[in-house]
Structure 1
Amino acid sequence: MARLLLLGAGHAHMTVMAHLPEIISRGHTVTAVGPLSRHYYSGMGPGMLGGTYTPEDISFPVQQMIESRGGEFILDKAVRVDAKSKKVLLQSGREIEYDVCSFNTGSSVPQSIVNANATDVYSVKPIENLLAGRKRIQSLADRGKISIGVVGGGPAALEVAGNAAACAREAGCKNVSVRLYAGKVFLRHLSPRVRSLCASAMRKHAIQIIEGSYASGVATKKVTLEDGREFDEDVIFIAMGVRPSALIAESGLPVGNDGGLAVNRFLQCDEHPDIFGGGDCIWFKDQPLDKVGVYAVRQNPVLYHNLIARMEGGELQPFDPGGEYLLIFNTGGGTGVLHKAGISFGGRLAFFIKDYIDRKFMREFQP
């Protein structure tokens, strides 16, 4: 019998959680630690902000999923991992021992430019922050005028800007101003064609894209850029890219260039072979992976196989990231932008395809 510990109940652990009865029937115990009883699917988070989805539509009841299948769920947060003694210290002071441990602790958005006392400022992670931001926009919409700022120049900022505008208009606000503070260049890692389609979508939603200078400070109702320009905003979202969970580096575990848990082709830590990981919190040593949900989904069956194999002395299976993935952005108001293998287009069809794929994923793993 082996003790399997799951740190985080996110995308990369979905197959493991779905097969808990089989794992337990083999004589093992499974414990999961998570900060919330539900896990939000980040790919649908902007749609919740825009009003397309409810919180229940985009989240898994992970505590129920685990407990109903014979596992133990601990509503808590890991603060330190002692890999040598195979123990995890939780925020509550409780200590958990394991034989095999898997990390799916996600990522966070850097807050270094945000004033510590700032109000009406919402980081896009954790995803439930977007629900709080939605409620705040709705509460201000009665005034008939609202200004919204989104700090960041990547896909997350794009999706949040489009859906924040949709939220304000859905609430009946007549005068909506949305500015996207995109840094030097908007969507600089994407092709000119995709950038053009996304910029066009923002124009259709009357969203202003501000390029040429990074944001240097965010305070209550104010965004300041490095070139000295200042802008007043009622609500501000922070979407500047993500960083892996700090738990990994703070526990002295081997990390990659971005601070993620360094794992080999088996999604396993070389220095501590009883530790595995998936999703945004890892650094895949064979090749850097984008912080997108598709890789967590692709890692699911490999993690499931390898965790059992490690507990039972079986052969590990390598993870193949696969080729180019389908890229679809939810640009708000039922519109999107799609790109794959040289095919790019925007509009309602792009969003329809994204919506279909996302809902199918949610149905697959719902209890």
Structure 2
Amino acid sequence: MKRRVVLAGGGHAHLTVLKNLDRFIDKDHSVTLISPTTHHYYSGMGPGLLAGTYRPQEVRFHVKKMAEDRGAEFILGKVNRVAPGDRVLYTETEEKIEYDVVSFNTGSQVPLDGISDSAKEVYPVKPIDNLLMARNTILDRIDNEDLRLAVVGGGPAGLELAGGLRQIVKHKDGSARITLFAGSRLLGSLPEKARRYAYQALSDRQIAVVEGDAVQDINDGYLVTSKGREFQFDVLLLAWGIKPSRLFRGSGLPTDPNGGLLVNEFLQSVKYPEIFGGGDCICFQKKPLDKVGVYPVRENPILYYNLLAAITGGEMKPFEPQDRYLLIFNVGGGKGIFWKQNWIWRGRLAFYLKDYIDRKFMREFQVCGEPYEEE
């Protein structure tokens, strides 16, 4: 029997499905991909995109072409509402899309609370192509101005973005004051050795760090901290945390307190077995997972296998998240910080290893000639 499969979002966790759509289409099932953009940018290489280490073509997947080349329908848009009882999705334009099985990989967003409507040159870290816009803004101004560049966020993204900014300035032989607003504590959940390496990397790059005083309000050209201090900026990168959209909670689907779609070990909704999900938009019921790229990448083949099983009646595979994973931070200038359990080191080799892993992942799923696209 022909089944209607819908993929909402073309992110990391859907790439194996997209690459192997013939397994669905050849069995006479229909597949529809709904995505707000024709390309999906790989977040793991986002700081390198900002810094100019990578061209845009090297860090993105042409998800529209992946879908259409394999016989799927592509809809440029975003799912705004789910009617699970009717098995219907509604887009922002109220287009009605029926499904038998749907999978969500809609990612996350940076909360914009506390940002004035008048604030200009503020770039949330997601979507990733915002970083390209920020880079172009800086390049347009760096030759004629002594820029004040700010990064808000004390996690790994904030560290990497600050290093990327310094790389832009150094490459252009420009002048800029860069400040990282790290909230209560820079990399607060990491081992002390990793934090010490991060402080050293920032110091080496003449990046000031503000801790113990969270950013509270962001206005046009200046921000205000919880202690009432004001700091001026010309360009600000916002990386103070992420959360899923209001889509699932607003549609009455079971979620975690942050609004992430609550899924079981098969990456299915705990209430609606025809609804699946992966990446930052979900909450794994057995154990909430850190928002790191390794999990969407590893959910990738599991979603593919289980979506096939859902339409053929086969047995599903459980997703078994690893407790220990590798993180490598790109701190700019061709250097990195390596962290896995108690093994922590830094230097050029760390960046080379990260670069190798990232490029290998891109080669696996860049199947539409992306590196050769025009700007």
The residue aligned with 2:343 is 343
Mapped to 2, the partners of 1:158 and 1:269 lie a distance apart of 34
Q: Is the 8 A contact 1:47 1:53 kept in 2?
A: yes
The residue aligned with 2:207 is 207
Please state whether the residue corresponding to 2:58 is helix, strand or coil.
coil
Mapped to 1, the partners of 2:277 and 2:229 lie a distance apart of 42
Q: What is the CA-CA distance between 1:101 and the residue it aligns to?
A: 0.3
Mapped to 1, the partners of 2:128 and 2:296 lie a distance apart of 16
The correspondence of residues 100-179 of structure 1 with structure 2, limited to 5 A, is 100-173=101-174, 175-179=175-179
The correspondence of residues 309-320 of structure 1 with structure 2, limited to 5 A, is 309-320=309-320
Mapped to 2, the partners of 1:251 and 1:268 lie a distance apart of 16
Mapped to 1, the partners of 2:329 and 2:258 lie a distance apart of 24
The residue aligned with 2:325 is 325
Give the number of aligned pairs: 366
Q: What is the CA-CA distance between 1:44 and the residue it aligns to?
A: 0.5
Quick check: 1:5 aligned with 2:11?
no
Quick check: 1:26 aligned with 2:30?
no
The residue aligned with 1:220 is 220
Q: What is the CA-CA distance between 1:31 and the residue it aligns to?
A: 0.4
- List per-residue Cα deviations over 1:35-81 (Å, max 9, x = no partner): 00000000101100000011111000000011001111111111101
Q: What is the CA-CA distance between 1:257 and the residue it aligns to?
A: 2.6
Q: What is the CA-CA distance between 1:23 and the residue it aligns to?
A: 1.4
The correspondence of residues 1-367 of structure 1 with structure 2, limited to 5 A, is 1-173=2-174, 175-367=175-367
- List per-residue Cα deviations over 1:248-306 (Å, max 9, x = no partner): 11111110132100000110012111000000000000101011111001111111111
Partner AA of 2:294 in structure 1? V
Q: What is the CA-CA distance between 1:92 and the residue it aligns to?
A: 2.3
Please state whether the residue corresponding to 1:268 is helix, strand or coil.
coil
Mapped to 2, the partners of 1:87 and 1:11 lie a distance apart of 24
Please state whether the residue corresponding to 1:244 is helix, strand or coil.
coil
Mapped to 2, the partners of 1:80 and 1:287 lie a distance apart of 26
Q: What is the CA-CA distance between 1:199 and the residue it aligns to?
A: 1.0
Mapped to 2, the partners of 1:28 and 1:245 lie a distance apart of 29
Q: Is the 8 A contact 1:169 1:176 kept in 2?
A: no
Q: What is the CA-CA distance between 1:162 and the residue it aligns to?
A: 0.8
- List per-residue Cα deviations over 1:207-255 (Å, max 9, x = no partner): 0111011001111211211111111111111100110122111111110
Mapped to 1, the partners of 2:172 and 2:56 lie a distance apart of 17
Mapped to 1, the partners of 2:121 and 2:300 lie a distance apart of 36
Mapped to 2, the partners of 1:338 and 1:257 lie a distance apart of 32
Please state whether the residue corresponding to 1:202 is helix, strand or coil.
helix
Structure 1 runs not aligned, ≥5 long:
none
Q: Is the 8 A contact 1:156 1:241 kept in 2?
A: no
Mapped to 2, the partners of 1:331 and 1:246 lie a distance apart of 33
* TM-score (structure 2 length as normaliser): 0.96
Q: What is the CA-CA distance between 1:341 and the residue it aligns to?
A: 2.9
Q: What is the CA-CA distance between 1:311 and the residue it aligns to?
A: 1.0
* TM-score (structure 1 length as normaliser): 0.98
Please state whether the residue corresponding to 2:355 is helix, strand or coil.
helix
Mapped to 2, the partners of 1:128 and 1:6 lie a distance apart of 21
Q: What is the CA-CA distance between 1:186 and the residue it aligns to?
A: 0.8
Q: What is the CA-CA distance between 1:307 and the residue it aligns to?
A: 0.7
Mapped to 2, the partners of 1:321 and 1:98 lie a distance apart of 28
Please state whether the residue corresponding to 1:337 is helix, strand or coil.
strand
- List per-residue Cα deviations over 1:17-46 (Å, max 9, x = no partner): 111011111221110000000000001011
Give the share of equivalent positions with the same residue, in percent.
Answer: 48
Mapped to 1, the partners of 2:324 and 2:344 lie a distance apart of 14
